[in-house]
Amino acid sequence: MARNPSIFIDGESGTTGLQIRARLANHPHIAIRSIAETDRKDPAAKRRLMEQVDAVVLCLPDTGAKEVAAIAAEMGDAAPKLLDASTAHRVDPDWVFGFPELTEGHAAKIAAAKRVANPGCYPTGGIALLRPLVDAGLIPKDYPITVNAVSGYTGGGKSMIAEFEEAKTAGPFFLYSLQLEHKHVPELQLYSGLTVRPIFVPSVGNFAQGMLVSIPLHLDTLPGKPKAADLEAVLADRYAKSGWVKVMPADGAQRLEPLALNGSNMLELRVYGNAKHNQAVLVAKLDNLGKGASGAAVQNLGLMLNVDVDAALPLGIAAE
């Protein structure tokens, strides 16, 4: 009888690591191994544990993720599979980008990979909206794109959580990264298929989890002057077989809130259009800690370890 695969979450006390562990804590076919607190920064102890597991999830700062990747490289064929939740390897050609819905057949690439880079929360929404439209030629690769997004404050990690929940100094809402150098832009551009760097304007609201990513478009500047319905049809066709990405009809509502998918691995896409003005806005809704982080990680682990993890994905840990 084959043994169950085992994983080590390096950085399991962080926001993403905690939620990955919570989602998999009762999984019948995945064993979670932990390192002793005293050995957490000991490379030799870490390597010994890596020799005993099938996969390591890196919930670490970029520098720490690179250090563990170097240990794995030294181990050669004996190294476990790596799933990196940091930004260290997302545009590295030697790592497979961990968005299974990116293109047809991409999930199989993740399943076969030894090293997978989990996507960022903001790029998950932006790429899901843009890539099918770029592939279909409705949006040119060199089109000037602007991406606006708002996230729950848990996306900023422990320091930002403390600003909102303990110090209460953050205020109700703020824009940030106004020097236009956000670390998610390279992956957003690369995997959307764009040749021109998009403008990305992120923001944070006074809520724990949830995310909206929006992309405004002047339809009469696009090739063939498509209608909003044309954009929606391309998206619907691309994700027709997806269990986690759903294209929702624009229902005429004047508001869209960001919290409804909290605790799940779902990603919802919508196209809102105004035929009179030839304008549209593409919108993605997701849980920044679900499909934007820990949910995506669990989905990728399922592919990498050939284990059914669907039961662990819709539940998660919703914001209080």
Residue 270 has pLDDT above 80, yes or no: yes
Residue 286 has pLDDT above 90, yes or no: yes
| CATH topology (fold) of 6-118+292-312 | Rossmann fold (3.40.50)
For 271, the token pair is 């196209």
Least confident range of 79-83, 163-167, 294-298: 163-167
pLDDT band for position 314 (cuts 50, 70, 90): low
- Average pLDDT, integer, range 159-172: 87
Active-site residue list: 121
pTM of the model: 0.94
Q: For residue 307, how many C-alpha atoms fall within 13 Å in the half-sphere facing its CB? A: 25
- Average pLDDT, integer, range 159-168: 87
pLDDT band for position 313 (cuts 50, 70, 90): confident
- Average pLDDT, integer, range 267-294: 97
Question: In the prediction, which pLDDT does 168 show?
Answer: 83
Question: In the prediction, which pLDDT does 115 show?
Answer: 98
Is domain 121-288 in CATH 3.40.50.720, yes or no? no
Question: In the prediction, which pLDDT does 319 show?
Answer: 36
Residue 157 has pLDDT above 90, yes or no: no
Domain-wise residue ranges, the chain: 6-118+292-312, 121-288
- Average pLDDT, integer, range 65-83: 97
**Interval 17-69: pLDDT, tens:** 999 999 999 899 999 999 998 998 899 999 999 999 999 999 999 999 999 99
pLDDT band for position 2 (cuts 50, 70, 90): low
- Average pLDDT, integer, range 181-196: 98
Domains 6-118+292-312 and 121-288 equal at CATH topology level = no
The mean predicted confidence, pLDDT, of the chain is 94
